[in-house]
């Protein structure tokens, strides 16, 4: 396990994401999603360290099984008439695709989801079950190329993470955390392209800008797919070969530029775990908490359980005054065969 501390940047001002209302879009998204998106549970889990009080934000129990429903529904709500008529398209290994298919079906909009042929079969079928047209391609690069062709032909592209409407929808997770547990001091988020991380960081930063307490945000990604860390080091997205990781959902070939810029300013640190460490955390969540969760959904918890929290955040903490930590657990569309092997093993 390794960590990288982010460095400051100045390009958010040009994007209008500074000041006391930098989370205005997140709050507006929460209003749009109210009554449709589930307020997911926040439950205790033994961190193994008396200095850390850990709670799990169970986005694995969200509509469509992942936090992705938040961003997809927000994006659909923001579409103009021309985009609605054209239909929507995206590229996804599963959770964003299913979420967009679900949100589009609710709005009566055609959805085409391009997926890698090696995506979990249950995810492919789940997208089809939501009424979307599924186009399979051989690998993530080929799938992205097909998606680009469909968008060039007229379909409206809904990005899985590198769009303000998407990440502001994802940021409503953090708003719920603030309502459910105002004492929360640290939020740990899994990272693929960075939309969830960035949206949550905006929500926390906006609360702090209006006089709320300082809170920290840490992102966790597979060591073999550490695209956000690479982007932060370079100051821009970097294309990586992420095929060395089996943690589907966290293997985007690059972080988004907008999530990168937000993370550069508002994320405390990035960390990475080996695939084996993430899979071990998944086993604990399945066996000890009885959760239905994908490997990707266990990354944030794995970071906490492996004593990854920076020492400076734990200084002066003990059982009477623990660091209050929330780890986001998402998604819940686990491969049935893999899940059965964990439960029976």
* Beta-carbon count within 10 A of 1 CB: 14
Identify whether residues 92 and 186 lie together within a single domain: no
Identify whether residues 181 and 259 lie together within a single domain: yes
Identify whether residues 61 and 73 lie together within a single domain: no
What are the distances in angstroms from CA 46 to CA 51, 107, 216, 221, 291? 11, 41, 20, 22, 14
| In a domain? residue 284 | yes
What whole-number distance in Å separates Cα of residue 295 and Cα of residue 247?
6
| In a domain? residue 60 | yes
| In a domain? residue 4 | no
What whole-number distance in Å separates Cα of residue 38 and Cα of residue 68?
12
pLDDT, tens digit (0-9, with 9 covering 90-100), for 84-107: 999 999 999 899 999 999 999 999
Query: Stretch 143-150: mean pLDDT, rounded?
Result: 97
Identify whether residues 210 and 293 lie together within a single domain: yes
| In a domain? residue 7 | no
Identify whether residues 272 and 304 lie together within a single domain: yes
- Tell me which H or E stretch contains 216: strand 216-222
Identify whether residues 134 and 86 lie together within a single domain: yes
- Tell me which H or E stretch contains 137: strand 133-137
pLDDT, tens digit (0-9, with 9 covering 90-100), for 189-219: 999 999 999 999 999 999 999 999 999 999 9
| In a domain? residue 6 | no
Of 68, 92, 189, 245, catalytic: 68
The yes-or-no verdict on residue 10 having pLDDT over 80 is no
The pLDDT score that the predictor gives to residue 20 is: 86
Quick check: is 68 catalytic? yes
Identify whether residues 123 and 110 lie together within a single domain: yes
Residue 337 pLDDT class (50, 70, 90 cuts): very high
Range of 212's domain? 12-66+163-344
Identify whether residues 215 and 283 lie together within a single domain: yes
| In a domain? residue 2 | no
Q: Return the CA Rg of the chain.
A: 19
Of the candidates 157, 189, 224, which is a domain's last residue? 157
The pLDDT score that the predictor gives to residue 140 is: 86
What whole-number distance in Å separates Cα of residue 65 and Cα of residue 63?
5
pLDDT, tens digit (0-9, with 9 covering 90-100), for 67-86: 999 999 999 999 999 999 99
| In a domain? residue 81 | yes
Of the candidates 157, 175, 201, which is a domain's last residue? 157
Identify whether residues 189 and 201 lie together within a single domain: yes
Identify whether residues 50 and 81 lie together within a single domain: no
Strands 2-5 and 156-157: unpaired
What are the distances in angstroms from CA 225 to CA 37, 46, 220, 222? 30, 28, 10, 5
pLDDT, tens digit (0-9, with 9 covering 90-100), for 36-50: 999 999 999 999 999
> The CATH number of the domain where 319 resides is what?
3.40.50.1100
The yes-or-no verdict on residue 330 having pLDDT over 70 is yes
Contact present, 94 and 126 (Cβ < 8 Å): yes
- Assign 226 to helix, strand or coil: coil
Identify whether residues 128 and 176 lie together within a single domain: no
Contact present, 284 and 320 (Cβ < 8 Å): no
Of 93, 189, 252, 330, catalytic: 93
The pLDDT score that the predictor gives to residue 188 is: 99
Identify whether residues 104 and 249 lie together within a single domain: no
For tokens 């927000």, name the residue: 74
For tokens 């986005």, name the residue: 59
Query: Stretch 298-319: mean pLDDT, rounded?
Result: 98
Q: How many domains does the chain have?
A: 2
What whole-number distance in Å separates Cα of residue 132 and Cα of residue 101?
5
The pLDDT score that the predictor gives to residue 141 is: 87
Of the candidates 137, 157, 177, which is a domain's last residue? 157
């Amino acid at each position: 396990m390794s960590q990288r501390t982010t460095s400051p940047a100045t390009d958010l001002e040009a994007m209008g994401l500074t000041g006391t209302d930098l989370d205005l879009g997140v709050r507006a998204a929460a209003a749009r999603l109210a009554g449709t998106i589930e307020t997911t549970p926040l439950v205790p889990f033994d961190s193994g360290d008396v200095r850390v009080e850990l709670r799990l934000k169970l986005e694995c129990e969200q509509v469509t099984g992942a936090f992705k429903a938040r961003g997809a529904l927000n994006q659909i709500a923001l579409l103009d008439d021309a985009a609605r008529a054209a239909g929507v398209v995206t590229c996804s290994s599963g959770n964003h695709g299913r979420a967009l298919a679900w949100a589009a079906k609710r709005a009566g909009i055609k959805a085409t989801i391009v997926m890698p042929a090696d995506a979990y079969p249950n995810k492919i079928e789940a997208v089809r079950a939501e009424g979307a047209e599924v186009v399979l391609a051989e690998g993530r690069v080929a799938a992205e190329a097909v998606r680009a062709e469909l968008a060039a032909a007229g379909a409206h592209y809904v990005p899985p993470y590198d769009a303000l409407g998407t990440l502001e929808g994802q940021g409503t997770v953090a708003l719920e955390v603030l309502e459910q547990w105002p004492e929360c001091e640290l939020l740990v988020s899994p990272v693929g392209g960075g939309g969830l991380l960035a949206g949550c960081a905006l929500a926390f930063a906006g609360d702090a800008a209006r006089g709320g307490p300082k809170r920290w945000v840490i992102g966790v990604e597979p060591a073999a797919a550490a695209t956000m860390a690479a982007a932060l080091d370079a100051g821009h997205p970097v294309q990586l070969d992420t095929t060395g990781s089996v943690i589907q959902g966290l293997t985007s070939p690059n972080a988004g530029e907008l999530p990168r810029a937000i993370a550069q300013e508002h994320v405390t640190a990035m960390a990475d775990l080996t695939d084996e460490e993430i899979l071990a955390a998944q086993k604990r969540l399945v066996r000890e908490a009885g959760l239905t969760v994908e490997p990707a959904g266990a990354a944030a918890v794995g970071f906490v359980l492996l004593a990854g929290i920076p020492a400076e955040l734990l200084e002066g903490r003990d059982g009477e005054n623990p660091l209050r930590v929330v780890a986001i657990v998402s998604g819940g569309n686990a491969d049935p065969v893999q899940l059965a092997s964990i439960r029976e093993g």
